[in-house]
Amino acid sequence: MAATSSHSVDLSQAMNVDPTPLADWLVVMPVVWCLLAGAILLMLRKRTELQASIGIVALVGLCLLDAALLWRVLEEGPFTMVMGRWLPPFGIAFTVDLLGAFFTMTSGLVALAAGIFGRDDVDSTGRRYGFYPFLLLLMAGVSGAFLTGDVFNLYVWFEVLLISSFGLLVLGSEREQIDGATKYAFLNLVGTTLFLVATGYLYGLFGTLNMADILIKAPELRQTAPLMTLVCLYLLAFAMKAAAFPVNFWLPASYHTPKLVVSGLFGGLLTKIGIYALLRVLVMLFPIERAELGWVIAVLAAGTMLLGVLGALAQNDTRRAVGFLVISGIGMMLAGIALGSPSGLAGAILYAAHSMVVMTAIYFAAGIGGRVSGSFLLSRSGGIYPSHLVLAFATLALFLSMAGLPPFSGLWPKVMLVKAALDVGEWWLAGAILVTGFLTTITVGRIWALAYWKPRAADAEPLDPASQKVPMTSVIGLGMLTVLTVVFGLWPEPLIAISQDAARGLIDTSSFVLSVFPGEVPQ
Amino acid sequence: MEALFSVLVGALFAVSIYLFLSKHIIRVLMGVAILGNAVNLLIFTNGRLLREVPPVIAADEYTLQQAAANPLPQALILTAIVISFSFFAFLLVLGYRAFQELETDDTDEMRVAEPADEEAPPLGY
């Protein structure tokens, strides 16, 4: 039928007539790679002896792709690829800027550490039920969320990573896990549904879902459209994903229940996706509304960081204490978002990257420690230090990094955040950050003193020699992340520069818009 | 038509939030099912409601001559339906497993992961 039509159609109005340059494919490669590797691993799920090797090789490949992506963005700035060669805003665009590339790289490294750590942490039953496929599909969701330039597509990647996280969370099906997963699943479902509601309204108001297109249309629509309502909905949805106070209670109910490697992965990556979405949608797309809501976010930030650390202080179980420390860290990042200044945002971005690495490593370390001493409870463990010197010192380094003490990577983002808060006269927010740091030091100091330093009580059961051997893969996984936090604590300049550039890219969006619409005049 | 649908969407949201406030997993599950439909209808209403007007541009035209329902929200809903359906299926199984393992569907009694009688951390070294 179409052939008989004499109508000639000018495709260049709606499509890229030239094929997409090969180099631009790089922006979708992390996602494609993870989906492919996940599918292959799923087909081979009965070959449990192959799962770990293929999974680790795939994650190394992911890290190389992420590094190439970061390198290209550092060299040339943001770039875009549109699906199906439709011109934006008709096609779904993947746009990577420095923020997305930096977070993708960090998450790739964390996933690699988890993949290595998981080799011996997950038994062959866990592997047959799909630990590695779920890990790869989770990374597809995480990378997709960091790289997409379309709001509805961001929602889809949220769902991809959420479904994979359900699979990982219930792996093993212990009673505890079922209990934790129930709360995690229902509350996260409400969070993503709120995200979908807001996105439905966003389309209703703007008639587009492309982020660059929204940036172009927002100034005009701001006069009439109820953008503030929209932004409040987004704030609630993403705060729920990020586990910000007062919608944080699903996290301490569930994060300590799954396998150690899964706890580490979740504590490192999942809450940071909420922070990333806040940075992308609130800070980049709706800066004026975010500035209006600045004090609300600041109060939430202070509440999150203080209540998080107070919760950690009240825990007897180290894994649950670490869960509360994750929440406390979210408060730090929210403080940067509340300030909204370039230095505050840079602090939040650097803190997020630091927190991805360190929170994962702390879960790993606490897990190995608990296994060695036979109990995760502070009241029953102790005496790890004499027999496991290196583990004890690695854990101490991670704890001090978490508390923000030099010479580890936690110091620098906190310095940036405190300075940014004082620059705009928000002394109480700076005070909250410092008090939280002090309370964190007490919390981690107590955990270390009781579980590692204190000699074993005379009536406690003696250390079981069989459980004392720490597998090599656990050492490598934990060691990798510990080395990262030490190196970037001693040599932070490159990361600080990247964070500052990424923050500038969120405020001055012209290069982001130009990468999607090359002809557009920057505003 | 849009006004009518808006009221319907509001009612569905109210019902699902009411069900969410229950302590029983089975009611929360029904809330989840209704919430998914409420959101889908919300997006559907956003895309203009018109019957029997195909959004097809005639051969000698360049734009649509009459208002038609926007097909894009409908495509979004298709995605959202698939996702909410799979979520609901997963939650149904999870709720059933929780009932089997924990022998309750009252969320107040689900204290395996966070035991109520947990001992306090040691107060001295």
Question: Domain span at residue B69?
Answer: 2-51+65-109
CATH number at residue B89: 1.10.287.3510
Which tokens in the block code for residue A303? 């509440």
The tens digit of pLDDT for each residue in A191-210 reads 999 999 999 999 999 989 99
- Whether B58 and chain A come into contact, CB under 8 Å, resolves to no
Note the Cα A63 to chain centre separation in Å. Answer: 15
Cβ burial A11-33 (10 Å sphere, 16+ → b, else e): eeeebbeeebeeebebbbbbbeb
Those residues whose C-beta lies under 8 Å from the C-beta of residue A192, and which sit 6 or more positions away, are A155, A158, A159, A162, A237, A241
pLDDT of residue A2: 47
pLDDT of residue A296: 95
A206, HSE (Cβ side, Cα atoms, 13 Å): 27
Q: What is the mean pLDDT of residues A279-296?
A: 94
Chain B partners within 8 Å of A152 (Cβ): 76, 79
Chain A partners within 8 Å of B95 (Cβ): 182
Q: How far apart are CA A63 and CA A198, in angstroms?
A: 33
Residue B71 lies in a domain: yes
Q: A3 CA to chain B: closest CA distance, Å?
A: 14
Residue B103 lies in a domain: yes
> 């009241």: which residue's tokens?
A379
Share of residues in chain A with pLDDT > 70 (%): 95
Please count the helices (runs of H) and the strands (runs of E) in chain B: 3, 0
Please give the C-alpha separations between residue A265 and each of A132, A194, A362, B17, in angstroms, as whole numbers. Answer: 13, 24, 11, 31
The tens digit of pLDDT for each residue in A90-148 reads 889 999 999 999 999 999 999 999 999 999 888 888 888 889 999 999 999 999 999 99
SS3 A15: strand
Those residues whose C-beta lies under 8 Å from the C-beta of residue B7, and which sit 6 or more positions away, are none
Which of B114, B117, B118, B125 has the highest number of chain A CBs within 10 A, making it the mutation to test binding with A? Answer: B114
| Whether residue B108 has pLDDT greater than 90 | no
Residue B117 lies in a domain: no
Burial of A262 (0-12, 13-18, 19+ CB in 10 A): buried
CB within 8 Å: A253 and B118: no
The domain tally of chain B equals 1
CB within 8 Å: A182 and B46: no
**Whether A281 contacts A353, CB under 8 Å:** no
- Please choose, from the candidates B15, B18, B31, B13, the residue with its C-alpha nearest in 3D space to the C-alpha of residue B95: B31
- Whether B102 and chain A come into contact, CB under 8 Å, resolves to yes
Q: What is the mean pLDDT of residues A473-498?
A: 92
CB within 8 Å: B79 and A152: yes
For A424, phi and psi rounded to 5 degrees? -100, 15
Conformational region of residue A77, where left means phi above 0, alpha means psi within -120 to 50, and beta covers everything else: left
Chain B partners within 8 Å of A378 (Cβ): 121-122
Q: What is the mean pLDDT of residues A309-323?
A: 92
The tens digit of pLDDT for each residue in A381-421 reads 877 888 888 899 999 999 999 999 888 999 999 999 999 99
Q: Give strand ranges (E) for A19-82.
A: 79-82
**Whether B32 contacts A186, CB under 8 Å:** yes
Chain B partners within 8 Å of A178 (Cβ): 94, 97-98, 101-102, 112
Residue B124 lies in a domain: no
> 């894994």: which residue's tokens?
A319
Residue of A nearest to B118 (CA): A316
Confidence bin at A18 (pLDDT 50/70/90): confident
**Whether B72 contacts B16, CB under 8 Å:** no
- Whether B95 and chain A come into contact, CB under 8 Å, resolves to yes
The tens digit of pLDDT for each residue in A245-256 reads 889 999 999 999
Residue A10 has a CB neighbour count (10 Å cut-off) of 8
| Whether residue A491 has pLDDT greater than 50 | yes
Task: State ipTM.
Answer: 0.93
Whole-structure pTM value: 0.94
Residue B91 lies in a domain: yes
Q: What is the mean pLDDT of residues A263-275?
A: 93
